[in-house]
Amino acid sequence: QVVGDKVKKPGKRGRKPAKIDLKAKLERSRQSARECRARKKLRYQYLEELVSSRERAICALREELEMYKQWCMAMDQGKIPSEIKALLTGEEQGKAQQNSTKLAKAAKTEANSSNP
């Protein structure tokens, strides 16, 4: 086949395989395999840590759920658990502290604005 001034031979197209040193090719392959194994190991470590943290979170949530169930059963029997009483009194104290803090800030702001 003649195309322009060049004569082309029929057969395979594309780049012809370069004569690569076999030892270098094997070494590159080994290095690639080592890197692949290292990445795989890191990925599995990450996933194991993720699973263990999720399992811990699940255990904590189950304990919390059990505590709430016990509180509900106690309230069904007409008893108010001491934890709930403490929560309620703590919230009331917290609201009182917030109000007193707001009043103190307002007084301070008013005093600063009246003194030039």
**Chain segment 22-81, per-residue pLDDT in tens:** 888 899 999 999 999 999 999 999 999 999 999 999 999 999 999 999 999 999 998 888
Q: How many CB atoms lie within 10 A of CB 74?
A: 15
The residue among 53 and 98 whose pLDDT is bigger is 53
Burial class (CB in 10 A: 0-12, 13-18, 19+), 39: exposed
In 3D space, the residue among 59, 53, 83 whose CA is nearest the CA of residue 70 turns out to be: 83
Q: What is the pLDDT of residue 106?
A: 60
Q: What is the 3-state secondary structure (H, E, C) of the chain?
A: CEECCEECCCCCCCCCCCCCCHHHHHHHHHHHHHHHHHHHHHHHHHHHHHHHHHHHHHHHHHHHHHHHHHHHHHHHCCCCCHHHHHHHHHHHHHHHHHHHHHHHHHHHHHHHHHCC
pTM across the whole model? 0.50
Q: What is the pLDDT of residue 116?
A: 45
Residue carrying structure tokens 């030892």: 23
> What residues does each domain of the chain span?
22-86
| 95, pLDDT greater than 90 | no
The residue among 104 and 81 whose pLDDT is bigger is 81
